[in-house]
């Protein structure tokens, strides 16, 4: 069986803690599995703080589901030997795709990235290191509205070109709400001849106050009309979810009209909203959903 829509989707999760959160995580994963995502990515805490949970999660995804896991990996606060050891563990676990990120310092350890004296210098250097260890597919990050530490979009493009030159094949963007920023980035990548596939990162709104906080930290602009739509709805979850599904579906459909055919959803480990959005977009669940 195949999906009705030609739309390709992928989902991001963070590794759960033990207990109820872990049960909820696997319920979410199995709820979304019938959507046949291209891949599901699992995040990696600042400084490798969730290293063991990330590894355990992707190992279980390989063993127990039909999904293709992508393991996030950062190089902040770690030597090359330590990072390389994690890369080899991912390979041994059956992971064949890594999202290589420079990473940010853990809370309380400064605000700017400082390479480990014996570590990888940046994300491009990390991409090169991963590719030397095994034949991984490697994806990286991109920023439609400029990385908070970058001087300009041009500097971001230079970093992205360097990552592509070292072997990255895909770039997943930070979330955004103005499609013009993504389309501008796509055009600039094409104009510079950077050989990389750009995937838009879509963040459905589960809590608008939190989204505003996230946006403030990463420099993402929120349209005034979006603020108006969500005003007062944090205490009305059912209405908020209806509006959130509509807003995200409208954003994706507008990008589809511009020729975009693959989308990466930041799930925040919640299934229902993303599931509803995918169904609104014509992504058809295939087969029977697994019992939790």
CA angle 102, 78, 203 (to 5 degrees): 35
User: H helices within 37-137, ranges in order?
Assistant: 51-64, 80-92, 123-133
CA distance readout (Å), 39 to 42, 61, 65: 10, 11, 12
Q: How many other CB atoms are there within 10 angstroms of residue 206's CB atom?
A: 20
Question: How deeply is 195 buried, as exposed, middle or buried, from its count of CB atoms within 10 A (0-12, 13-18, 19+)?
Answer: exposed
Strands (E), 215-281: 262-266
Catalytic residues: 12
The whole-angstrom separation of Cα 136 and Cα 30 is 25
The whole-angstrom separation of Cα 191 and Cα 125 is 24
Strand partners, 266: 12
Strand partners, 72: 99
CA angle 214, 216, 217 (to 5 degrees): 65
Q: In sequence order, what DSSP letters do the residues of 169-217 get, joined into one string? A: -EEEEEE-S-HHHHHHHHHHHHHTT---EEEEEE---S-HHHHHHHHHH
């Amino acid at each position: 069986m195949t999906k009705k829509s030609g739309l390709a989707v992928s989902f991001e999760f963070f590794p759960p803690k033990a207990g109820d959160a872990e049960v909820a995580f696997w319920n979410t994963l199995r709820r979304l599995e019938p959507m046949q995502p291209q891949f599901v990515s699992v995040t990696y805490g600042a400084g490798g703080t969730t290293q063991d949970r990330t590894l355990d999660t992707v190992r279980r995804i390989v063993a127990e589901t039909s999904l293709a896991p992508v393991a996030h990996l950062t190089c902040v606060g770690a030597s090359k030997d330590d990072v390389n050891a994690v890369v080899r563990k991912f390979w041994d676990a059956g992971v064949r795709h890594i999202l290589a990120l420079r990473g940010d310092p853990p809370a309380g350890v400064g605000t700017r990235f400082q390479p480990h004296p014996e570590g990888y210098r940046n994300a491009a250097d990390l991409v090169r290191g991963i590719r030397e260890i095994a034949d991984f597919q490697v994806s990286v990050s991109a920023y439609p509205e400029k990385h908070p530490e970058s001087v300009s979009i041009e500097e971001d493009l230079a970093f992205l070109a360097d990552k592509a030159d070292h072997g990255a094949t895909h770039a997943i963007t930070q979330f955004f709400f103005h499609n013009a920023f993504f389309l501008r980035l796509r055009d600039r990548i094409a104009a510079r001849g950077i050989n990389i596939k750009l995937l838009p990162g879509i963040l459905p709104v589960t809590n608008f106050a939190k989204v505003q906080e996230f946006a403030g930290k990463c420099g993402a602009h929120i349209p005034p009309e979006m603020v108006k739509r969500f005003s007062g709805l944090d205490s009305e979850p059912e209405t908020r979810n209806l509006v959130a599904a509509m807003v995200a579906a409208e954003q994706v459909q507008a990008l589809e009209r511009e020729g975009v055919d693959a989308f990466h959803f930041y799930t925040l480990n919640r299934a229902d909203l993303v599931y509803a959005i995918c169904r609104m977009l014509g992504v058809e669940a295939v087969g029977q959903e697994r019992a939790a």
